[in-house]
Structure 1
Amino acid sequence: MRATLRWAHSDLRTHRGEALFLVLATAGIVVSLLLATALFGYATNPWQRIFTQERGAHVWIHTAESAQVGKLADLDGVQSVAGPYPAASTTLASRGTRASVELRATPERPTVGRPLLTAGHWLDPATPDGVVLESRLARALLAEPGDTLTLPGTKRTVTVLGVADSAEPRYRPGEQPGLVWALPSAVPDPTSQVIGLRLTDPDDTGYAVQRAVTVLGSGAIGEVSTWQQARAEAQGDNRLLGQVLGLFGVGALLAAGLAVHGAISTRIRGHLRDISVLKAIGFTPAQVVRVFLFQHIAYAVLGAVGAATLTGALGSRFPGRLGDALGVWQGLPGHTLTLFAVPIGAVLFIGATTGLAAWRAGRVPPVPVPRGSLGGGRAGGGRF
């Protein structure tokens, strides 16, 4: 072992440039994979981005007006609540298109389940009939800020002040009503109330729903929606995009692996004379393999740790959309696991490619015979 370490140290001092290249190559691969993972989640799962940025509620409960929903804030595992908000079901019409909606009285912009404005501005007391539409509902009604919508069967109209993204279940014609935020004055006759529960542990959603039903009574609850349902619905719309990006990601990983394998193989071929000397002084093939495995795995670990540290430290400081993607990714539940799994996977992959090249190095003879002399001798023997 001591002789192996001495040779590795001597080789490092002699070939510092090659060692630095391998460390930087590994770091570049790991950083690229981490950035690709963040961008992949940002592009294929916009729901998760919205849920994280708006501090979405894990459970939304629609109850009767008389239900004492304030008790839900005291349940075990409930971190904070949104509402309760008085609500009414109605219909909005615009340009010959109608949509069933839930008109939700929101006196001020929420801190939990806070809609993310994409156009216009939030509710303004100066415009008592102003509303903010959920983005999918706005697209269905072809509505934008400044438009006036009517409530069929009444003389009432509302003015669109803004359009916002929400992590709640989105509008689906005939299945899910669209979400409309309005001032309490625009919801004169509420028929129900809505409360959102943000949990300490999202995995306890089922238990939280059971506790809510126990506290309020099943007869007081009209509808319950959870974050898992909303996520499953939203992810279904981006499944094809995810598969395409995932395919390109796998191809990029294989290409990077082949590049590293080629670099390591080239480096080992450049050390054939040194390998022969090692075997001549008593190194066994297994020891030669271990020498190169030890070296290159050490370089890979150094590069991977540096890349993970750099990515974790900079995070949202990257400019533009990349910084936004990393900022959102760092707030996701699986961020820590991915930050460890990607570097470990890269090191294992590089170790496997190094093992194949090192195995070939272990088969190098102690005293290599020049190919030219062997070929010339055979050719001469054949001629004379």
Structure 2
Amino acid sequence: MPIHLDIACTHLRHHGRSTLVSLGGIALGVAFFLAVSALMRGSEQDFLQRLVDNSPHITVYDQYRTQQAQPAELRWPQAVVSVSNAKPLVETRGIRGYRSKLEQIEALPGIRVAPLLHGSAVLVFAGQQQGISLSGVEPPRMKLVSAIERHMVAGSLDELGATPNGVIIGEGLAAKFRLRMGGTLTVVSAGTGSRVMKVVGIFRTGNAAYDETETFTLLKRAQAILDRPNRVNRFIIQLADPHAAVGVAAAIERSIGYKSVSWIEASEDLLNLLLVRNIIMYSVVSAILVVAAFGIYNTIFTIVVEKTRDIAILKSIGFRRADMRRIFLWQGGIIGLLGSVAGLLLGNALMRVLAIIELKPPGVSEVVRLPVWWGVDQYLLAAGFAMASCLGAAYLPASKAGKLRPVDILRGAT
């Protein structure tokens, strides 16, 4: 064992009570750091997973990000006279030539895409009326890009292909209108009057607003109901790597011209909120380790004060200033290392306890488990911050020990 480490261990053993208190503080700090960060990061990952799974990674809309230049502006850019408030021609909204643009997008690697016609209608049943969002889909493509098939409690998307007038509704809407599988209802739109449709599927996502307003039917049926023949107004896209959505959306927008919005852009406010939450969380749990580091400072400073004559003797027989600093830094490192190991074991036990806790909030039918993140990086972060705090707390008394003059101490100078 190196002489510096041997002396450091001897000092710590002679101050056993203070050493144990410092070790306990670091262990508890690391354990709570690990448990809290595991919960916070677990909830963040769970939220992002739900966000990514339940919404398209990229949505292409039938609009442009910037206003398109008028033909007259392109022909005469330096014209003396300009015309304002010109009323555009009335045309059917939608993505023009959507089949060719769909093929362009499908040619990109790692992409699944589905066309969709989204519009508003009114559902009428037994004298009741409800505004709904009607989405026309192609079932084979929709199953590749949407999680709606996993949320079906009755029927399936394939039933739409077998039933031209079929419609899939949410469980909330079915309960509100007392509808069941095979029931009929009337869908009224602004342009084409009313149509009788048959319920061929019921889904439940857990989002009450979505389950009460969203409905699905065949794309061709939706085009007829909304009076938009051969048009779609959205492409919904899923990627193999959701975090590449920003770059892929920009490439798609450059390729086809229409506005492409990634899930990151659409949820920018929520992601900023998560960032602020993480900063607050790490600040709070780090403060626990900083407070524990003061205990280490107090322990090592006390050793320095009590061992001044020993320090003088060591320096008089050849120990240099750097050697004295190394001895006391070893003490901080030993406490940090042992405290980190104990804290990681205790923190891991706390995480296992948290992972088996089941909660059932009022009004919720499903049991909720606490999401716990088991990533190795948080173990390394907790141990690394603990070691940095311990070495930082040990540096000041170690520096003081290195500056002591043996002649003054041996002569009894103060």
Maintained 8 Å contact 1:123/1:132: no
What letter is aligned with 1:84? A
Which of 105, 130, 136 does residue 72 from structure 1 map onto? 105
Aligned to 1:147: 176
Structure whose CA Rg is larger:
2
How far, CA to CA, are the matches of 1:266 and 1:69 in structure 2? 69
Aligned to 1:352: 392
Q: CA deviation at 1:273?
A: 3.3
How far, CA to CA, are the matches of 1:298 and 1:145 in structure 2? 65
In the alignment, does 2:33 pair up with 1:33? yes
How far, CA to CA, are the matches of 2:357 and 2:297 in structure 1? 35
Q: CA deviation at 1:198?
A: 0.6
CA gap 1:41/1:2 in 2 versus in 1, 3 angstroms: closer
In the alignment, does 2:355 pair up with 1:326? no
How far, CA to CA, are the matches of 1:306 and 1:104 in structure 2? 56
CA gap 1:270/1:298 in 2 versus in 1, 3 angstroms: closer
Aligned to 2:324: 288
Superposition pairs for residues 54-73 of structure 1, below 5 Å? 54=53, 57-62=56-61, 63-64=95-96, 65-67=98-100, 69-73=102-106
Aligned to 2:310: 277
How far, CA to CA, are the matches of 1:324 and 1:249 in structure 2? 19
Aligned to 1:121: 153
Encode CA deviations 1:284-308: one digit per residue, 9 max, x unaligned. Answer: 5653332121222244246547767
Q: CA deviation at 1:278?
A: 3.1
Aligned to 1:189: 223
Q: CA deviation at 1:228?
A: 1.7
How far, CA to CA, are the matches of 2:134 and 2:217 in structure 1? 15
Which of 153, 169, 175 does residue 131 from structure 1 map onto? 169
Superposition pairs for residues 135-214 of structure 1, below 5 Å? 143=172, 146-148=175-177, 151-153=187-189, 154-156=194-196, 161-164=202-205, 180=214, 182=216, 184=218, 187-189=221-223, 191-192=231-232, 194-200=235-241, 202-203=243-244, 205-207=246-248, 209-211=250-252, 213-214=254-255
Superposition pairs for residues 86-105 of structure 1, below 5 Å? 86-92=116-122, 98=131, 102-104=135-137
What letter is aligned with 2:356? P
Encode CA deviations 1:112-135: one digit per residue, 9 max, x unaligned. Answer: 5535989x83654499433248xx
Maintained 8 Å contact 2:115/2:137: yes
Tell me, what secondary structure is at the counterpart of 1:147?
helix
Identity %: 14
What letter is aligned with 1:225? V
Maintained 8 Å contact 1:130/1:182: yes
Q: CA deviation at 1:89?
A: 1.7
Which of 263, 271, 282 does residue 227 from structure 1 map onto? 263
How far, CA to CA, are the matches of 2:297 and 2:342 in structure 1? 20
Maintained 8 Å contact 2:186/2:197: yes
How far, CA to CA, are the matches of 1:113 and 1:275 in structure 2? 72
CA gap 1:106/1:297 in 2 versus in 1, 3 angstroms: farther
Gaps of 5+ in 1: 134-142, 172-177, 375-384
CA RMSD of aligned residues (A): 5.1
Task: Return 38-47 or 262-271, whichever deviates more.
Answer: 38-47
Gaps of 5+ in 2: 62-94, 178-184, 225-230, 359-367
Maintained 8 Å contact 1:199/1:205: no
CA gap 1:209/1:262 in 2 versus in 1, 3 angstroms: same
CA gap 1:288/1:243 in 2 versus in 1, 3 angstroms: same
What letter is aligned with 2:59? W
TM-score by length of 2: 0.59
Q: CA deviation at 1:84?
A: 1.6
Tell me, what secondary structure is at the counterpart of 2:110?
strand
Maintained 8 Å contact 1:57/1:227: yes
CA gap 1:36/1:230 in 2 versus in 1, 3 angstroms: farther
Aligned to 1:380: none
How far, CA to CA, are the matches of 1:24 and 1:323 in structure 2? 30
How far, CA to CA, are the matches of 1:347 and 1:311 in structure 2? 16
